[in-house]
Amino acid sequence: MNSSPAPGGTGERITRKSGSNLALSFICLPKEQRQGMSTFYAFCRTVDDIVDETSLPLSEREAKLLAWREDIQAIYRGNPIQPLAQELAPVVRQYLIPPEPLLEILAGVEMDLTKTRYETFAELEKYCYGVASAVGLVSINIFCCQTRAAQDYAIALGMAFQLTNILRDVAYDLQKFGRIYLPQQECRTFGVSEEDFQKTTLTPGMARLLRLQYFRARHYFEKADRLIPETDRPHLSAALLMTGVYRDLLEKIHRNNFEVLRGPIKLTRWEKLKALRRGRTQLGQTHEKRRSPSRIAVIGGGFAGSAAAFALAQAGHQVELFEAKPQLGGRAHSYRESKTGTTLDNGQHILMGCYHQALQLVESLGNGDRLEKHDRLDLAFVSQKHGRTVLRSSCLPPPFHLLAGLFGFAELSWMDRWAILNFPARAKSQPAKTGESNQNWLERLGQTPGSIRALWEPFCLAALNVPIATADAGLFWEVTRRALFGSTRDAAIYFDRSGLSHLLQPELGAFLQATGGSLHLATPIESLVLDDSKRKITSLVLKNGEKPVFDQYVLAVPWTAAAKLLPEGDRAQQLATTLVPGPILGIHLWTDLPLAPDLITGFLDSPLHWLFDRTATLPSGNGGHLYAAVISAITDRIDQSGKELVDLVLSEIHRLIPSSRNSKVTHHVVYKSRDATFSGALGKPLARPSPLTSVENLFLAGDWTETGLPATIEGAVVSGLNSATAIS
């Protein structure tokens, strides 16, 4: 028998006829390898076609697969029967292909004969291994790869390819073969029924389910990229070319909002050629070595830890997230109030359009529809002097969007308005000094007492939770620049529709589980075990006594908890002890009649700062109204009783909104957050740590780390992304 396949044989004819994406990549191979891959691919195509030939009886298809199983074994004895098996035999001998992956391919396609549903991803993973990863294991032999690491790469890349195929062919697989490859367990998580697969438009649950499949496929592409053995990279040109094509296909499905129920989304011929051309250009370029896929523990399930966990899982790592509370969100979480059944945020939080990273996280999880968007700045203010007046930006481009609002804001004089309009230019030419207070900086920039009273002080309290006299001017400018002097979109205001935690759950847990990780709620961490000689964390210590071991650790807890968990003497630990907590009071009021006519009401010259109408979040059929009252930086009143605080808030509402006096409070909840935000010592630079610590495998996240932003949800998310970048 010949030592190499005959040119133009059965294998090459089948491969040319298939028009497969995979076959496109063979063009970069030397002739002998190209012929070998064509023959092997023809084998894969043939056995797959046997299974999909539904016009044949099941018994006949089973018999054909059995014949191939016998022929695979016969190849190693030198006497295969089928012509294609005879062509495959010299390829097997020349490239030392073991029988196991070839038999795994047969076992994988054979699953399609009888299995049309998969309960868990573990079941689907076994199928994907057979029909895709095993294909990769054979291919790396033909590519002449030399390292064992190439096997891990082939397995991960095969998973990525097959998961992309499954996502692309959701409608085709069901209509043609009655198969649904998406795990039933995940369908139930998102409330997706069999009937939903028959529709041509996506239900909200189906959209989330398909997004999860996209996330998983992308994870495996990233994992494979991290596993590329550099010494074998020159041998993997065909795999790398095909990776570019498949990644472009996956992203096209994403750009098309997962509209795969109407039929497969495919790359055009031009798009494929473009991907191949780009890939060939990249083959000769130098590639920076990336960290190998790691097992990573993220400690703390606030927005910082959630962002870090999501980014790391997306980047190809296996992530386990530990949160002490029974829900995600950290210092910005929600819970179900027992008496009324209402989902409440622990304190009233809003997102703004300038929260680019936080909004991107919510959208990436598929939860943008859980946000109520108001497309411009629209704030009512009340005072004893002017009653009710409104600061409302227009739809004009900046800075004119704010200009229109200032002219309609009766609390300001003409001098106040002029000072505010000049503020951005003066801020850029006279930046805040290190450690300078906001009050001093604003006065230095010519801001009038009226502008400070009516605009800057309320905004400072809302953004920094620190009185204007002691707030850090640099932080104030950064958040002001983004929110008030950015684009019109940046000034938009977002409320959560059903609780802040619901912006993260259950999707984040499902995404972590989909990539081999997990979410551990109500799981406090007692300590970190440090090997001081190696300056490495060796394990966690859970409250239940367990000591799970990971490669890397992200500490994403508030500074108060971090100071206790970080090694003694670490710079971050020392900085954490210098931060001063800033308390916030939140009071939820259920009333029979409205308290205020506006969604957001600011109170001037009052101990009460903000009142938010949250009636839209009440469970249907409850009736009545719900409001959240907020007092920021409440250091002098935080220890007062709940009754005293409720009486104070109601007296201020009745004083400045006379129409509210007819309302009766039917229920209330007082929430005191003693460490809602942080600040530094007055007159000193606010020192904050980077994501890096003195310990090699320990990284930091949290709004208290160096983000350039105050303690906001956006700052928390940015910190999580910073820590993920530091690890990657």
Query: Could you report the per-residue pLDDT of 384-397, keeping only the tens digit for each?
Result: 999 999 998 877 77
266 vs 164: CA distance, rounded Å: 11
Six token digits for residue 673: 């957050």
Q: What is the pLDDT of residues 121-167, one digit of tens each?
A: 999 999 999 999 999 999 999 999 989 999 999 999 999 999 999 99
Q: What is the pLDDT of residues 273-325, one digit of tens each?
A: 898 888 888 877 777 788 899 999 999 999 999 999 999 999 999 999 999 99
* DSSP states of 338-396: TTT--EEESS---EETT-HHHHHHHHHTT-GGGEEEESS-EEEEEETTTEEEEEE--SS
How are strands ordered across the β-sheet holding 610-613? 387-392, 378-383, 600-603, 610-613, 625-632, 580-591, 665-679
Backbone angles phi and psi of 392, in degrees to 5: -130, 120
Give the model's pLDDT for residue 318: 97
Give the model's pLDDT for residue 681: 67
* Contact (Cβ atoms closer than 8 angstroms) between residue 557 and residue 300: yes
Give the model's pLDDT for residue 402: 79
Q: What is the pLDDT of residues 91-100, one digit of tens each?
A: 999 999 999 9
Residues 321-342 have a mean pLDDT of 94
3-state SS class at 674: strand
Give the model's pLDDT for residue 13: 62
Give the model's pLDDT for residue 231: 92
Q: What is the pTM of this model?
A: 0.93
Residues 499-513 have a mean pLDDT of 95
- Residue 566 is which amino acid? L
Give the model's pLDDT for residue 5: 47
Give the model's pLDDT for residue 488: 80
Instruction: Decide which of 600 and 396 is more confident.
Output: 600
CA torsion, points 269, 274, 275, 281, in degrees to nearest 10?
150
Residue 637 has pLDDT above 90, yes or no: no
* Contact (Cβ atoms closer than 8 angstroms) between residue 383 and residue 501: no
Give the model's pLDDT for residue 489: 86
pLDDT band, very low/low/confident/very high, at 401 (cuts 50, 70, 90): confident
| Closest alpha carbon to 506 in 301, 711, 674 | 301
Residue 620 has pLDDT above 90, yes or no: no
**CA distances to 451, 461, 616 from 458, in Å:** 10, 5, 25
pLDDT band, very low/low/confident/very high, at 10 (cuts 50, 70, 90): low
* Mean pLDDT (the chain, rounded): 91
**Count helices and strands in the chain by DSSP H and E runs:** 28, 19
Q: What is the pLDDT of residues 24-68, one digit of tens each?
A: 667 778 889 999 999 999 999 999 999 999 899 999 999 999 999
Residue 6 has pLDDT above 80, yes or no: no
